[in-house]
Structure 1
Amino acid sequence: MRIVVTVGGYRRMRVKSSVFAVISAVVWLLAANLAVGSTQAQAAAPSNHQVGTYFIKLPPAPRGAHSAAALAPDATSPWIDPSVNTTENDPGDIVPCHSGVLCPAVWDPTTAKWKVFNLSRCALYKVFYWNDWGQYVDNQTGGVESRYYDQGYNIVNRFWPTGDAIFDQRWDEVYYIRNCF
């Protein structure tokens, strides 16, 4: 294909072009723009940023919770079976929930801290001494459904990954968690 450019009725220049050349130029421009854009985004991210990681700001201690100095001697720390990686955090701390993980936060009356459980393996978990209100973030991948069950395996809550949304949950009614259905 030939394109002839005329100005004022006079032929000034001939430009030989093909569909391939036009497409190549557009692709090259898009690639150059994406390379510059992604470099800028990486430069702006903090050094500890991980793709797909969301950060949770833990809430204040539950109403009526005791301070660490006034803990009840008969209190029991929340736990889960099978066991998972957990972290203990002060109210107001900002903690990561990595990609592929369901992150429930449960108040631990023995330490006056939030215990964040990292459920990354597909399993049916049994929870123990999960009391009062807490929160969770579902940062799993692949659109899997998660379910919280009561003592009789009735569904208390069912949800899908949302990543950066934090949800409240009454843990007293939860006895089992299946993080992938």
Structure 2
Amino acid sequence: MSGSTASPRASRLRPVVAAAAALLMTLTGATAATTSAAAASEGATEAATKTVTHTAPAAPASAAGTTGGGEFGVTAVPTVSPSTRVTYVPAGSDYPCNTGELCALAWDSSRSMFAVFHMYNCARYSLSGWTGQGYYANQQTNGTVATFYNQSGGTLWTSRAPSGHQGANWDPVWSIRNC
């Protein structure tokens, strides 16, 4: 008797179990596909982001023999607004500049190193404390134009990506639009 009552119950549960198993396989397959797509997208992003290495030049002549002050004891600490990622490299050392970035080097006499500003987000960056000879590398998307402005907002020069390591006199530059 118990065999006859178990049989109808089991037959009613089979379609439910089969549907649950099918749903589980669908979800597992979708998750695997989503994970694969995310990994492929991440790989594409990694492949698209390459690091180009440049070499920082020698320290500015005014910095020779100083340990923190520039000419006349003035310390130049370069900054930008809005803020961006900054790294520091000694004169003559390699510095990375990722694709998608405009990297600008200004001498930081408080550290006796070059400050490398990695301008990635499209913005107009106001400069403060940028003096003398500096450098930049425009590693943005091909054809992207960076514009360097004077105090009154007039264009001093432009740089079309990609460009290698370029020299720049920061004295007349008050802002940079990287895109």
What residue in structure 2 maps to residue 150 of structure 1? 150
What residue in structure 2 maps to residue 91 of structure 1? 91
Q: Which amino acid aligns with 2:162?
A: T
Which structure: larger Rg?
2
What residue in structure 2 maps to residue 167 of structure 1? 166
Identical aligned pairs, as a percentage?
28
What residue in structure 1 maps to residue 7 of structure 2? none
Give the TM-score, by structure 1 length.
0.67
Distance in 1 between the 2:48 and 2:145 partners?
A: 24
Superposition misfits of 4+ residues, deviation over 4 angstroms? none
Distance in 1 between the 2:104 and 2:69 partners?
A: 23
Output one character per residue of 1:6-58: Cα deviation in whole Å (capped at 9) or x when no partner.
Answer: xxxxxxxxxxxxxxxxxxxxxxxxxxxxxxxxxxxxxxxxxxx9853210100
Output one character per residue of 1:54-76: Cα deviation in whole Å (capped at 9) or x when no partner.
Answer: 10100000112144536355413
CA contact (8 A) 1:68 1:110 kept: no
Residue 142 of structure 1: how far off its partner (Å): 4.3
What residue in structure 2 maps to residue 115 of structure 1? 115
Distance in 2 between the 1:142 and 1:61 partners?
A: 30
What residue in structure 2 maps to residue 55 of structure 1? 53
Distance in 1 between the 2:138 and 2:51 partners?
A: 11
Output one character per residue of 1:119-161: Cα deviation in whole Å (capped at 9) or x when no partner.
Answer: 0000011000100011110000142111000000111111111
SS at match of 2:63: coil
Distance in 2 between the 1:53 and 1:93 partners?
A: 15
Output one character per residue of 1:74-102: Cα deviation in whole Å (capped at 9) or x when no partner.
Answer: 41310000000001110011011001000
Q: Size of the alignment, in residue pairs?
A: 131
Q: Which amino acid aligns with 1:60?
A: A
Q: Which amino acid aligns with 1:52?
A: K
Instruction: Trace 1:1-181 onto structure 2 (pairs within 5 A).
Output: 52-67=50-65, 69=67, 71=69, 74-163=74-163, 165-180=164-179
Name which of structure 1's ranges 49-58 and 149-158 shifts more when overlaid on structure 2.
49-58
Which structure carries more helix by proportion?
Answer: 2
Q: Which amino acid aligns with 1:58?
A: A
Distance in 2 between the 1:92 and 1:69 partners?
A: 17
Distance in 2 between the 1:55 and 1:107 partners?
A: 18
Give the alignment's Cα RMSD to 1 decimal.
1.9
Query: Structure 1 pair 155/94, CA: closer, same or farther in 2 (3 Å)?
Result: same
Q: Which amino acid aligns with 2:55?
A: K
SS at match of 1:64: helix
Q: Which amino acid aligns with 1:75?
A: T
Q: Which amino acid aligns with 2:147?
A: R
SS at match of 1:122: coil
Gaps of 5+ in 2: 1-46
Query: Structure 1 pair 151/92, CA: closer, same or farther in 2 (3 Å)?
Result: same
